Amino acid sequence: MSINRKKDVKMQDRRVRKTKESIKEAFFNLMSEKPFKDITVNQITEKADVNRGTFYLHYLDKFDLRDKLEKEILNELEENIAKQSLSNMIESPEQYAAELIGLILAVIEKNQDYFKVTLIHQDLGLPQEFSRIIRNRLKNQLLLPERVDIVPIDYYFAFIVNAQTGIIKQWVKSGMKESKEEIAKYAFTLAYNGPLKLMHQYLEQEKKN
């Protein structure tokens, strides 16, 4: 490939990236203003300042746009947690859990525009695939029991994921003032000790004072 040809390809790649970024930004802005069902491709292209033909070069419709944005984030999550050594779970469950939460928060922090509209404005919660990815990661490496104590494993994961989602949503909603390391500590403390146990300890301490 000639030097000029390489330059042309790079320029074209930059234009494509810039176009996609404009579409993504326009989509997020609209998602912060109105429900997803009320958003149209026309509104997206007008706000992004691109024509409909350009939009359809990259996406089939608004659903395809939403799904591709979510898929990018989920792929990033899978890549992130794949870096974690599961040997840490056996040697130090506390460290493993804290690292896992930190890796999830790193993805959310990097893609905070997406999570602001999905968690706050649209109130959609984290993608259900988050739970599937984490569970599959553990399932492929460990022999998961059918129950944890008396709790069926599906309920166990549902509780953990929904509890962590609440913490993450509050973090995003409050403007991410705390560092992801601080939030990871909060999430781990609640998950490891349990909210009722922590409250009981607090009340017992208050009695002594």
C-alpha 78/C-alpha 99 separation (Å) is: 14
Domain count within the chain: 2
The pLDDT of residue 60: 96
The pLDDT of residue 143: 66
Per the CB < 8 A criterion, the answer to whether 157 and 135 are in contact is yes
C-alpha 149/C-alpha 135 separation (Å) is: 18
| 78 and 26 in a common domain | no
The pLDDT of residue 47: 97
Q: Which two tokens stand for residue 181?
A: 């390391």
| 178 and 94 in a common domain | yes
The pLDDT of residue 123: 64
C-alpha 53/C-alpha 41 separation (Å) is: 11
Residue type, 38: D
Separation in Å, CA 128 to CA 76, 121, 135, 138, 201:
15, 18, 11, 16, 33
The pLDDT of residue 142: 63
Residue 130's contacts (CB-CB under 8 Å, 6 or more residues apart) are: 74, 77, 104, 161
> What is the residue range of 103's domain?
67-208
50: CATH = 1.10.10.60
| Block mean pLDDT (10 aa), the chain, length 209 | 53 84 95 92 97 96 93 88 69 74 87 85 67 72 76 81 82 90 87 73 74
The pLDDT of residue 158: 78
The pLDDT of residue 103: 85
| 120 and 159 in a common domain | yes
| 20 and 79 in a common domain | no
| 121 and 43 in a common domain | no
| 137 and 153 in a common domain | yes
| 51 and 136 in a common domain | no
| 80 and 55 in a common domain | no
Closest CA to 74 of 44, 53, 104: 104
The pLDDT of residue 139: 67
| 190 and 98 in a common domain | yes
C-alpha 61/C-alpha 122 separation (Å) is: 19
| 104 and 44 in a common domain | no
Bridge partner residues of 147 (DSSP) = 152
